[in-house]
Amino acid sequence: MKHLLTLLIFTTSALAAAAQVSDIADMQQFESRLKATSDKLTSIECDFVQVKHLDMFDEDVTSKGRFYYLKNNKISLDYSQPLSYLIVINDSRLKIVADGKKSVMQLNTNKMMNEMQDMITACMVGDLNRMNNSYNLKYQEDNSEYIIGITPRSRQVKEYISAIEIRLSKADMSVDQLRMYENEADYTDYKFSNKRFNQLKDESRFAID
């Protein structure tokens, strides 16, 4: 029993050490790799799992679908589970299709919505070069990922998104996970997998009629 307890303590300590987070040691290398990746990125296709956590409810709400990105400013979130739901951002326009009903919004007529669109687009594809002086950024890393904390300075934006955490894979500098906090207790998590880069050619899925 004593040996088992010692083994458990050692294993727990080893896992904690492996997951240790610290400030990025080589910012120049990080920025250089991020820029190089951003410059050559034209499209992304991948699966995503979205988890909505609301503190007032006992259970999280999980959704699944496909994520598509095409340079510049074209994003599609095509939900398949538990319900069919579509969100498309094409430059300054937003389309939502739910229950067979479509709604279209012009984002550039609202400064705050336009800013949020730019922020969300940048975060989902890991393009931190688009982050300007409107945000505070904190850079950290662990063994396998870069972890970027983003806090909007705008009081209006904070009413919708209080903070964002992006996890970038050190292997290919792509976004593994994106967490958006509405407040200290409530957040929406996106986890991306089965990624394909620079292979998407069809622009029809980004059409806003």
- The Cβ of residue 22 has, within 10 Å, a number of other Cβ atoms equal to 9
Let me know if residue 182 belongs to a domain: yes
Domain span holding position 120: 23-206
> In this structure, what CATH number is given to the domain that contains residue 91?
2.50.20.10
Q: What pLDDT score does 21 carry? A: 86
Is-contact 43 200, C-beta < 8 A? yes
The beta-carbon contacts of 125-134 under 8 Å, at least 24 apart in sequence, are 125/38, 125/41, 125/44, 125/69, 125/175, 126/34, 126/37, 126/38, 126/166, 126/168, 126/173, 126/174, 126/175, 127/38, 127/41, 128/34, 128/166, 129/34, 129/35, 129/38
Q: If residue 5 lies in a helix (H) or strand (E), which one and from where to where? A: helix 2-18
Q: What pLDDT score does 129 carry? A: 74
Q: What pLDDT score does 100 carry? A: 83
Let me know if residue 5 belongs to a domain: no
Tell me the pLDDT tens digit for each residue of 58-105: 899 999 999 999 988 899 999 999 989 999 998 888 999 998 889 998
Q: Once rounded to an integer, what is the mean pLDDT over residues 18-42? A: 87
Let me know if residue 110 belongs to a domain: yes
- The residues, any chain, with a CB within 8 Å of residue 195's CB and separated by 6 or more, are 44, 45, 46, 172, 174
Give percent helix, percent strand, percent coil of the chain, each to the nearest 5: 30, 45, 30
Let me know if residue 14 belongs to a domain: no
Let me know if residue 9 belongs to a domain: no
Let me know if residue 77 belongs to a domain: yes
Q: What pLDDT score does 66 carry? A: 96
How sure is the predictor about 46, in pLDDT bands with cuts at 50, 70 and 90? very high
Domain count, the chain: 1
Tell me the pLDDT tens digit for each residue of 105-130: 888 777 777 777 777 888 888 888 77
CA–CA separation, 75 and 82 (whole Å)? 21
Let me know if residue 197 belongs to a domain: yes
Let me know if residue 198 belongs to a domain: yes
Tell me the pLDDT tens digit for each residue of 161-194: 899 999 999 999 999 999 999 988 899 999 999 9
